[in-house]
């Protein structure tokens, strides 16, 4: 199956009893059984079925299977938000005293999360950008994971997956990639040596900007040695499913980070048009970047633009497509505000991956909790505008940006 066919059919078991073409919204909390014995079996994973929607739900299960199929993983766990997915993916393997190597250009919420984890004894060591060399230099005997975004939001640095994965594996450490901004349309990170992928599915997977959600997908290829990874002993019998089994039976269910059936449904609907949207959005982003690059007095950053430091890697890893985000430096904070306020079509909002073009002044919003140093490391300056390009007609978008820049 090619990409768009796969979005519709891969991992999707049609509802055999009703012929339903989409998995309906099972908006219920609990599932009843004909006997106490049967519920006991379901509860203890000895018979297929669902018991309680915090632990499992058919609509959510359908979305998870489709995401696992699209990423080429052995299983997926859907979460209430992208941040829940990031948190659960990490805490499933970390204990007090452990260290994580992370990119300094990460999404603001994730940087804040590492601050929160400090008081539980988990320390993040930040690499200015995640490369084989920077990771190698930061590894200690306490390092238990390397975590970064494939295309940094909003730094727009791109990770060379194979090289970084090789270094991780030579030290017995898993590579966890937040692939939100790349999506399975640009790449399947698991095929490039990544062990675990997370997405904020609130963004491109959903596509319509209508549901907060996240997902964790496991390759099944990293073996968590119980000697190094606390709590894996009892999951050894699950073999390559140990990570997912531990997550499902442990922290994820006990925290209650489950996805609601309604939001899982909205995501499944959105997922089906991911290919069409991404094709259009990436084309629009490149065209807009080329236009902005030709304008005096503003500076554009887009990884697929010739001359960008990641241009070659974008050709190699993503077949030339650079995703939907670009950043623009307007010269001063005041001009950035004027420019943003002048735009007619782009909405001023803190989101990405919507079908509508969205803009935000990053320093005064997403990075307001960060230090000056953290902001600069994340590629966020006082005059930086982040643009999440939508599916509007590109001529309209270019005209809109032209007038907004001229009048700012
Ligand atoms: C938005 C985002 C998150 C957080 O996702 P939520 O669904 O908002 O919780 C994590 N990582 C990246 C790269 C994001 O863009």
Instruction: Determine the Cα–Cα distance for residues 201 and 205; give it in Å rounded to an integer.
Output: 5
Q: Ligand 1: which residue has its CA nearest to atom 8?
A: 82
279 and 246 housed in the same domain: no
Domain boundary among 230, 254, 270: 270
- Residues 352 and 394 grouped into a single domain: yes
Say whether both 243 and 382 belong to one domain. no
Q: Which atom of ligand 1 is nearest to the CA of 86?
A: 10
End-of-domain residue from the set 243, 270, 297: 270
pLDDT of residue 242: 98
Percent share of the chain, pLDDT over 90? 91
Residues 389, 259 share a domain: no
Ligand 1 mutation target, pool 109, 209, 257, most atoms within 8 A of CB: 109
Q: With 0-12 CB in 10 A as exposed, 13-18 as middle and 19+ as buried, what is 35?
A: exposed
Whether residues 180 and 56 share a domain: the answer is: yes
pLDDT tens-digit profile of 75-124?
999 999 999 999 999 999 999 999 999 998 888 889 899 999 999 999 99
Do 290 and 238 lie in one domain? The reply is no
Residues with CB under 6 A from ligand 1: 81-83, 86, 107, 109-110, 149, 153, 178, 180-181, 200, 202-203, 212, 214, 352
User: Same domain for 141 and 259?
Assistant: yes
Closest C-alpha to ligand 1, atom 1:
200
Q: Are residues 140 and 287 in the same domain?
A: no
pLDDT of 56 reads 96
**The domain boundary residue, chosen from 213, 241, 270:** 270
Ligand 1 centre and the CA of 44: distance in Å? 33
Query: In terms of domains, do 215 and 344 share one?
Result: no
Domain count across the chain: 2
pLDDT at 71: 98
CATH number at residue 104: 3.40.640.10
pLDDT score recorded for residue 369 = 83
Is residue 351 domain-shared with residue 294, that is, in the same domain? yes
pLDDT at 8: 94
Question: For atom 4 of ligand 1, which residue has the closest CA?
Answer: 82
State the pLDDT at residue 68: 98
Is residue 156 located within the same domain as residue 239?
A: yes
The protein residue whose alpha carbon is closest to atom 5 in ligand 1 is 82
CATH number of the domain residue 372 falls in: 3.90.1150.10
Q: Are residues 279 and 264 in the same domain?
A: no
List of the chain residues with pLDDT < 70: none
| pLDDT score for 14 | 74
For ligand 1, pick from 79, 81, 82 the residue to mutate: most ligand atoms within 8 Å of CB: 82
Residue 367 confidence (pLDDT): 87
Contact indicator for 261, 60 with CB cutoff of 8 Å? yes
Domain hosting residue 159, numbered range: 3-270
Q: What is the per-residue pLDDT for 370? A: 84
């Amino acid at each position: 199956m090619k990409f768009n066919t796969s979005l519709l059919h891969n991992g999707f078991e049609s509802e055999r009893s009703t012929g339903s073409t989409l998995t309906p919204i099972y908006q219920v909390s609990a599932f009843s059984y004909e006997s106490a014995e049967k519920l006991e079996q379901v509860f203890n994973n000895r018979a297929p079925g669902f018991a309680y929607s915090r632990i499992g739900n058919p609509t959510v299960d359908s979305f998870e299977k489709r995401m696992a199929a699209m990423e080429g993983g052995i299983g997926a766990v859907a979460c209430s938000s992208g941040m829940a997915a990031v948190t659960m993916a990490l805490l499933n393997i970390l204990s007090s005293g452990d260290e994580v190597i992370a990119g300094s250009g990460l999404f603001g919420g994730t940087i804040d999360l590492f601050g929160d984890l400090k008081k539980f004894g988990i320390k993040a060591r930040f690499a200015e950008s995640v490369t084989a060399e920077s990771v190698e230099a930061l590894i200690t005997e306490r390092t238990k994971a390397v975590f970064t975004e494939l295309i940094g939001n909003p730094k727009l640095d791109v990770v060379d997956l194979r090289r970084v994965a090789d270094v991780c594996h030579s030290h017995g450490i898993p590579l966890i990639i937040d692939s939100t901004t790349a999506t399975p349309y640009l790449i399947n990170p698991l095929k490039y040596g990544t062990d675990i992928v997370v997405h904020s599915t609130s963004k491109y997977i959903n596509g319509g900007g209508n549901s907060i959600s996240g997902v964790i997908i496991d390759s099944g290829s990293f073996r968590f040695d119980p000697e190094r990874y606390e709590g894996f002993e009892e999951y050894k019998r699950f073999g390559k499913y140990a990570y997912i089994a531990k997550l499902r039976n442990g922290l994820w269910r006990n925290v209650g980070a489950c996805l609601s059936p309604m939001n899982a449904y909205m995501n499944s609907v959105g997922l089906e048009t991911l290919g069409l949207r991404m094709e259009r959005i990436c084309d629009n982003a490149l065209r807009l970047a080329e236009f902005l690059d030709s304008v005096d007095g503003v500076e554009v950053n887009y990884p697929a633009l010739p001359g960008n430091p990641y241009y070659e890697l974008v050709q190699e890893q993503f077949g030339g497509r650079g995703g939907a985000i670009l950043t623009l430096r307007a010269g001063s904070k005041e001009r950035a505000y004027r420019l943003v306020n002048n735009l007619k079509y782009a909405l001023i909002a803190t989101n990405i991956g919507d079908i509508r073009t969205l803009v935000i002044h990053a320093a005064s919003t997403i990075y307001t909790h960060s230090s000056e140093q953290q902001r600069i490391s994340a590629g966020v300056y006082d005059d930086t505008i982040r643009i999440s390009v939508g599916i509007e007609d590109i001529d309209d978008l270019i005209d809109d940006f032209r007038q907004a820049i001229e009048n700012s």
